[in-house]
Amino acid sequence: MKTCVVISSLNRAEILHETVQSLQKQTIAPVAVILSLCDAASVLPETAQLPLVRVVLGGQGLTKQRNHGAQAAPAGTPYVLFLDDDTELAPEYLERMEGLLDQYPEIVVASGVSAADGLRLGRALTRDQAEAATRKYPCESGTEHAEGAYGCNMFVRKSILEQVRFDEGLPREGWLEDYDFSVRCRQFGSVVWNRGTCVAHLGVQRLARERGFPVGYSQIANPYYLWRKQVIPSFGRLIFKFWFPALRVSLQGTLHGKPPWNVTFDYRGRLRGNIQALTDAARLKLAPSRIVAFTKDGHGVSNGT
């Protein structure tokens, strides 16, 4: 027992319960399961009573919740796994991750490869589908360099968390928080894909349809913020690696999106968010924090079209 699992969640008590229960299928147990929440309503009483579970309450926002959860990890724990609340791990996930980092001290962050992702499919996976995907996926041996860890499962040396924290300047869902964290961790060692284990991301939305405007705004504002702090090394990379792909997908989805993607993803809202962010950039007002005000004044609500 070497790993503390940290799960951040908001208003998804039922799916969180399933994910916590699924950890009982691991071939080795974690030392603790920390649920980092904004309020007590985000967890079912029966979840809080499961073995090894501890609930900690704090401010809202993925980066804040991950930092707060990591601080609650038991002293002396060598590893922390940051896990989304709608994931299913392969049964040997913890065993394979601990073995990898025990053997290779130069690795500081690792992610399991994706067996299935409901967001990429345009429909949420059921728990049974996710479990089947992890059991059938043909895992290999070895590792592969990762530019950024897979945000739904990031296995981290706890010693690194004393030097690198998640950037709380990225609010709400923290678009690109995993990429930012990974890049800053690379100064201390390697960030890799562990090809020996896998994870399925159910891709469950909080709403039947996403709120596209804040996603679209964050797609432009957050990489700009990372460029300003030199996590993204050049303006050209900002434009061609981050801004252009986001705009292309938003525009294509608006004009040509077909089910199931245009049912789940609010491409018109994303495009409006992209345009608002670029307008703010031209006015020298672009900042990730502005999404909080936009969400409060109604821009974050999908119009359902």
- pLDDT tens-digit series, residues 130-187: 999 999 999 999 999 999 999 999 999 999 999 999 999 999 989 999 999 999 999 9
End of a domain among 176, 201, 226?
A: 201
* Structural domains in the chain (count): 2
Q: Nearest Cα to 97, choosing from 147, 149, 136?
A: 149
By CB neighbour count within 10 A (0-12 exposed, 13-18 middle, 19+ buried), where does 57 fall? Answer: middle
Same-domain check for residues 37 and 138: yes
Single-letter amino acid, residue 6: V
172 within domain boundaries: yes
Give the residue with greater pLDDT, 301 vs 42.
42
Instruction: Name the pLDDT band for 301 (thresholds 50, 70, 90).
Output: very low
Same-domain check for residues 13 and 122: yes
Q: Which domain holds residue 278?
A: 212-296
Which whole number is the average pLDDT over 282-288?
A: 96
Report whether pLDDT(259) > 80: no
207 within domain boundaries: no
Which whole number is the average pLDDT over 113-142?
A: 93
Same-domain check for residues 59 and 181: yes
220 within domain boundaries: yes
Same-domain check for residues 35 and 161: yes
304 within domain boundaries: no
Which whole number is the average pLDDT over 249-263?
A: 84
Same-domain check for residues 11 and 158: yes
Report whether pLDDT(54) > 70: yes
Q: Are 110 and 93 in contact (CB under 8 A)?
A: no
Residues 6+ away with beta carbon under 8 Å from 183: 148, 231
285 within domain boundaries: yes
pLDDT digits (tens, 9 = 90+) for 1-26: 899 999 999 999 999 999 999 999 99
Residue 207: per-residue pLDDT: 52
302 within domain boundaries: no
Residue 94: per-residue pLDDT: 98
231 within domain boundaries: yes
Report whether pLDDT(34) > 90: yes
Residue 120: per-residue pLDDT: 87
Same-domain check for residues 28 and 56: yes
